[in-house]
Amino acid sequence: MGRGSKQVNRRRNGFRFYLPKDAWIITATSAFWGIGTFMYSPFQSIFFRALGMPLFYVAIMAAISSVITAMALILGGYLADRWGRKRVIIIFSTISAASAFIYLFIDSWQFILIPVIIGSICSMYSPAFNATLTESMRQDMRPSGFASFAILNTLPAVFAPFIGGLLMVNYGYVDGLKMAFFVSGVLGIVAMSIRAMRLEETYTPVKRFREPLLSNIRSMLHDYAYTMKKANRDAKRLLAYAVTSSIAASFTTIFISLYLVKQLSLSPIDYGILSGLTGLATVIVLVPSVRIIKKAGLKKAAMLSALFSPLSMFIFVSSNGMNDLLAWSVTGGVGGALAQPSMSTLQGNLSEKDIRGKLMALFSVMPLLAAFPAQIFSGYLYANVSYLSTFMLSIPFYIISILILMSLSIK
């Protein structure tokens, strides 16, 4: 094989920054908005506790958010295939960005439910968002496209958590995070204005006659039943994987920041550095992840990414000092880097265009519904059994999810 052919194959198998116009617009605006979001998101449970919310109620709040988000995504997937993608994305992502301002007026934990509900409802734009990303990319370039999307969206996670931790140390847990919410709201509104002006439609739905509300609900349920029936066996197995891994994550994500800051007395700045290190590891590994996916195949790459989850959590529960926590951070970042392009590509490749919006919604809805009881149980374990018990319980569920991925018939 000649030198020119080797260079062509290297470019074909390796990473190439790839974001077509519409994918570029929603990626760039999402990353810009993410600067503010990543300033507060790693510390949200700490904010709730600082306002006086009981430990168990922190888990209840997360569970309520999961159920409302699941219902919103069901409607969002339906609207994405009925209205088209752009209208759903613009309306609900703008309201979601603006909802961050509500936190500025909250001084009691009982009122936190208001912005949580609004933000959860507005997540109905996610299926249209994911469908637009998929539809704007060539199928053979989706691993590079999703990796490019992940790189830009993860960049704020490298430095923004440190800024959030700095605000908390200097202005207090409540006022410092309110500043982060304000920044998120401002950046979000600016980003959504750009998105509204520049984004184009990627899918024109078949026009249907207007029908009464009850008929629309029946039609929506029928469409989702048809989507599940039409989805192939691998798509259904991927849904099962998403559900199992979501249960595992539900035992960990709510209380990690509280455990490190409150129980291990880690400074918010140090936790921000750990979060940033996870983001940095993700960005660095995303570039070679495309080569890994194309060389190993989607199935093996997805399995490899899934293996990092139980490994990361094992390091966390057995950690004995900052060095172990650094290893936990890096391991999580590496797994996330492999998971983002491989899982997104699998979901896109396993869904047909006419059901893509609804199937994309189901990839989020079913894990969220499964997360509801798991989050409540995690709150009980953390508040009444032991701080580490909920993290330890996640490990067997991560292992089961790996076994489900092994059953996929694709390569």
The answer to whether residue 233 is domain-embedded is yes
Cα 42 from Cα 163, distance rounded (Å): 11
Give percent of the chain above pLDDT 70. 91
CA–CA separation, 194 and 343 (whole Å): 28
pLDDT for the residue numbered 6:
44
Other beta carbons within 10 Å of 215: 11
CA angle in degrees (0–180, nearest 5) for 237-238-244? 90
In a domain, 61, yes or no: yes
Q: Three-state secondary structure along the chain?
A: CCHHHHHHHHHHHCCCCCCCHHHHHHHHHHHHHHHHHHHHHHHHHHHHHHCCCCHHHHHHHHHHHHHHHHHHHHHHHHHHHHCCHHHHHHHHHHHHHHHHHHHHHCCCHHHCHHHHHHHHHHHHHHHHHHHHHHHCCCHHHHHHHHHHHHHHHHHHHHHHHHHHHHHHHHHCHHHHHHHHHHHHHHHHHHHHHHHHHHCCCCCCCCCCCCCCHHHHHHHHHHHHHHHHHHCCHHHHHHHHHHHHHHHHHHCCCCCHHHHHHHHCCCCHHHHHHHHHHHHHHHHHHHHHHHHHHHHHCHHHHHHHHHHHHHHHHHHHHCCCCHHHHHHHHHHHHHHHHHHHHHHHHHHHHCCCHHHHHHHHHHHHHHHHHHHHHHHHHHHHHHHHHCCCHHHHHHHHHHHHHHHHHHCCCCC
Alpha-carbon distance 137 to 158, whole Å?
26
Q: What is the mean pLDDT of residues 175-184?
A: 96
Residue 211 has pLDDT above 60, yes or no: no
- Quote the percentage of the chain above a pLDDT of 90: 52
- Would 11 be classed as within a structural domain? no
Enumerate residues 6+ apart whose C-beta is below 8 A from 116.
61, 64, 65
Most confident of 11-20, 130-139, 141-150, 299-308: 299-308
What does the alpha-carbon distance between residue 299 and residue 234 come to, in Å, rounded to a whole number?
A: 11
Is the distance from CB of 59 to CB of 254 less than 8 angstroms?
Answer: yes
Distance between CA 231 and CA 72 in Å, rounded?
A: 21
Residue 170 within any structural domain of the chain: yes
Q: What is the pLDDT of residues 262-307, one digit of tens each?
A: 888 999 999 999 999 999 999 898 888 878 888 888 888 888 889 9
State phi, psi for 277 to the nearest 5 degrees: -65, -40
Could you read off the pLDDT of 221-257 as tens digits, one per residue?
777 787 877 777 888 888 899 999 999 999 999 999 9
Residue 9 lies in a domain: no
User: Rounded CA gap, 152 and 108, in Å?
Assistant: 35
What lies within 8 Å, CB to CB, of 59 at 6+ separation is 254, 255, 375, 376, 378, 379, 380, 382, 383
Residue 303 CB coordination number (10 Å): 21
Residue 13 banded pLDDT, cuts 50, 70, 90: low
Position 259 in a domain: yes
State the total domains in the chain: 1
Q: Based on the number of CB atoms within 10 Å of its own CB, is 17 exposed (0-12), middle (13-18) or buried (19 or more)?
A: exposed
Q: Is residue 411 part of a domain?
A: no
- pLDDT of 144: 82
For residues 220 and 75, the answer to whether their CB atoms sit within 8 Å is yes
Pairwise CA distance, residues 295 & 298, whole Å? 9
Residue 109: CATH number of its domain: 1.20.1250.20
Structural domain for 89, as ranges: 18-202+210-406
| 172 occurs within a structural domain | yes
Specify the higher pLDDT residue, 212 or 265: 265
The total of other beta-carbon atoms located within 10 Å of residue 411's CB is 8
Per-residue pLDDT band for 9 (boundaries 50, 70, 90) equals very low
Of 238, 245, 242, 232, the closest CA to residue 346 belongs to 238
The residue whose two tokens read 């996870």 is 278
Average pLDDT of the residues of the chain: 86
Question: Which pLDDT tens digit goes with each residue over 15-62?
Answer: 688 888 888 998 999 999 999 999 999 999 999 999 999 999 999 999
Q: What is the pLDDT of residues 357-367, one digit of tens each?
A: 677 778 888 89
Angstrom distance (rounded) from CA 76 to CA 306: 28
Q: pLDDT class for 7, splitting at 50, 70, 90?
A: very low
